[in-house]
């Protein structure tokens, strides 16, 4: 078996982080809509988490913010004139559209793509499919730039294969790694890929409070394209969890190594899927560890409020696993108690670390939403653009960059401010040299 490491690529929070109230079914986003955000604090909170992961010995990368407000999307909706005029007119005539085209939502890189490591795929390459994010307009405009970024970073065709996003239409949604997990004996060993879906794209769902975003057919297509079908299990999100606000499965479940940590109410017909997992894992030489959290220990509402399951479950270099949790999971008594017990017990979780990610949490994005996991062998890691891999010096430089460029207060009415567009572009222009990505943004081309 080739040795491999898991690199977390966190989304660097963009300068237009705001509370647009854009995501129906995401209870935090719906509740925060119209509030005042602090983009500077949001970006610094994210960087603090990245630094802490690095200090735990876990390799860390970043993916850049997307350019927002996104002028090409406004032009596609009929706005004309100079870029500044387009944004100002958007603010006056179509403020909701401007909010949608200004969201910093690409920060939640768990939704950027689905990735299969080379140890899982038939052709021995790492496969990438950017998520179409079709369920929400503001997110559906992310995938062309996401694809460009991933192709720029993972450019070496000897190691990396890029697929197009799943074609959209109707309910053919794909939300990327947020609905995808992997079970394995260790990162570099062949893994079982767990695709969690919410519905069939061709199924009518009547009277659901909130609709699921991930289509089974999209997940199946990705498994086929990546060449992982033999080592794949599909499992359905429960209606109960979706309707309680689990718009992505990573709000109620997370995998790492042999462990699946999940809420009792996360899945439909879980025993059928768990049997399939046991059988396939046996063929791969490991025994899966199903770590269920009962509704009596942690009610579903607490799970969704606290984002216990949106923690990052990570393997530590010295052995054991750490949970990287949001402060909200410490403030919620049921989840705090569950975590304390888990760490004190003999299970896989040996450490827990809480972080203040409140700016992102208020839009429904916890620690796990903020990162895209990429398992890479040493040769694959050596083949990527090094500028996006972090060390202490780079984190410090990025913190200084945020402090120099970001506002500490932003609300909906500010988005039409033409000075904001200029500020954002000056910041992103500088960032591309800082992380060695070249002229990657549309406004630079």
Active site residues: 175, 248, 369
In angstroms, what is the minimal distance from the CB of 21 to ligand SUG?
Answer: 5
Site for ligand SUG contains 363 (CB under 6 A):
yes
Measure the CA–CA gap between 292 and 176, rounded to whole angstroms.
23
> What letter does residue 411 receive in the DSSP assignment?
-
Nearest approach, Cβ of residue 58 and ligand SUG (Å)? 19
309 touches ligand SUG (CB under 6 A) = no
Q: Are 307 and 329 in contact (CB under 8 A)?
A: yes
In whole angstroms, the minimum distance from the beta carbon of 147 to ligand SUG comes to: 18
In 34-173 the beta strands, taken as DSSP E runs, fall at: 60-63, 113-116, 126-130, 160-162
* 415 contacts ligand SUG (rule: CB under 6 A): no
Question: Do you know the residue count of the chain?
Answer: 445
Touching ligand SUG, residues 159-198 (CB under 6 A)? 178
Smallest CA-to-CA distance from 326 within 303, 293, 294, 295 is with 303
Query: Residue count at the site for ligand SUG (CB under 6 A)?
Result: 23
Please give the sequence-ordered ranges of beta strands (E in DSSP) within 36-191, or none if there are none: 60-63, 113-116, 126-130, 160-162, 180-183
Judge residue 236's burial from the number of C-beta atoms within 10 Å of its C-beta, 0-12 exposed, 13-18 middle, 19 or more buried.
Answer: buried
Per CB under 6 A, which region of 105-113, 218-226, 391-399, 429-437 contacts ligand SUG? 105-113
Q: Count the Cβ atoms, other than its own, within 10 Å of residue 432.
A: 16
Beta carbon nearer to ligand SUG, 188 or 416: 416
Between 19 and 354, CB nearer to ligand SUG: 19
Q: Which stretch binds ligand SUG (CB under 6 A): 264-272, 290-298, 361-369, 431-439?
A: 361-369
| Residue 286 near ligand SUG by CB under 6 A | no
Tell me if 108 contacts ligand SUG by CB under 6 A.
yes
Select from 23, 116, 312, 359 the one that contacts ligand SUG (CB under 6 A).
23
Smallest gap from residue 361 Cβ to ligand SUG (A): 10
Q: Report the site for ligand SUG in 135-164 (rule: CB under 6 A).
A: 136, 139
Site membership for ligand SUG, residue 262 (CB under 6 A): no
CB of 337 to ligand SUG, least distance (A): 24
* Contact stretch for ligand SUG (CB under 6 A) within 13-21, 117-125, 151-159, 163-171: 13-21
User: Shortest Cβ distance from residue 97 to ligand SUG (Å)?
Assistant: 14
Give the torsion sign (CA, 247, 251, 252, 255).
Answer: positive
Both structure tokens of 88: 């100002």
Query: In which order are the strands placed within the sheet that holds 259-263?
Result: 253-256, 259-263, 289-293
Q: Which run of H or E residues covers position 234?
A: strand 232-236
| 15 contacts ligand SUG (rule: CB under 6 A) | no
Contact call for residues 52 and 355 (beta carbons, < 8 A) = yes
Coil, helix or strand for 115?
Answer: strand
Return residues touching ligand SUG (CB under 6 A).
19-23, 26, 29, 103, 105, 108, 110-111, 136, 139, 178, 247-248, 250-251, 363-365, 369
């Amino acid at each position: 078996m080739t040795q491999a490491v898991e690199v977390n690529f966190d989304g660097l929070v963009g300068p237009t982080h705001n509370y647009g109230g854009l995501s129906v079914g995401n209870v935090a986003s719906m509740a925060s809509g119209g509030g005042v955000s602090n983009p500077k604090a949001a970006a610094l909170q994210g960087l603090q988490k990245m630094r802490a992961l690095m200090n735990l010995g876990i390799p860390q990368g970043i993916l850049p913010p997307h350019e927002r407000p996104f002028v090409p999307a406004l032009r596609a909706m009929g706005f004309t004139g100079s870029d500044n005029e387009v944004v100002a007119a958007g603010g006056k005539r179509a403020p909701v559209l401007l909010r949608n085209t200004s969201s910093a939502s690409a920060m939640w890189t768990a939704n950027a793509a689905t990735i299969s490591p080379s140890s899982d795929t038939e052709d021995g390459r790492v496969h990438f499919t950017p998520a179409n994010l079709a369920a929400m307009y503001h997110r559906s405009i992310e995938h062309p730039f996401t694809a460009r970024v991933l192709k720029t970073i993972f450019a070496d065709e000897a190691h990396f294969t890029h697929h197009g996003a799943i074609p959209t239409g109707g309910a053919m949604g794909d939300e990327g790694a947020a609905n995808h997990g992997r079970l394995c004996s260790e990162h570099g060993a062949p893994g079982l890929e767990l695709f969690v879906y919410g519905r069939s794209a061709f199924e009518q769902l009547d009277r659901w409070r909130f609709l699921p975003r991930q289509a089974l057919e999209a997940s199946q297509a990705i498994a086929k394209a990546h060449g992982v079908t033999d080592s794949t299990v599909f499992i359905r999100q429960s209606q109960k969890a979706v309707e309680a606000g689990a718009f992505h499965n990573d709000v109620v479940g997370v995998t790492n190594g042999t462990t699946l940590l999940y809420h009792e109410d996360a899945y439909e017909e879980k025993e059928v899927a768990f049997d399939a997992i046991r059988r396939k894992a046996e063929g791969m030489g490991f025994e899966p560890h199903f770590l269920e959290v009962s509704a009596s220990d942690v009610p579903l509402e607490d799970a969704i409020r606290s984002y216990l399951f949106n923690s990052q479950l990570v393997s530590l270099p010295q052995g054991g696993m750490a949970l990287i949790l949001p402060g909200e999971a410490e403030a919620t008594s049921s989840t705090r108690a569950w975590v304390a017990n888990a760490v004190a017990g003999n299970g896989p979780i040996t450490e827990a670390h809480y972080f203040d990610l409140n700016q992102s949490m208020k839009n429904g994005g916890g620690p796990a939403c903020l990162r895209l996991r990429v398992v890479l062998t040493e040769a694959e890691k050596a083949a990527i653009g090094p500028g996006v891999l972090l060390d202490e010096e780079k984190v410090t430089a990025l913190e200084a960059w945020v402090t120099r460029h970001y506002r500490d207060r932003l609300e909906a009415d500010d988005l039409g401010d033409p000075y904001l567009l200029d500020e954002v572009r000056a910041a992103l222009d500088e960032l591309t040299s800082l992380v060695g990505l070249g002229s990657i943004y549309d406004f630079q081309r």
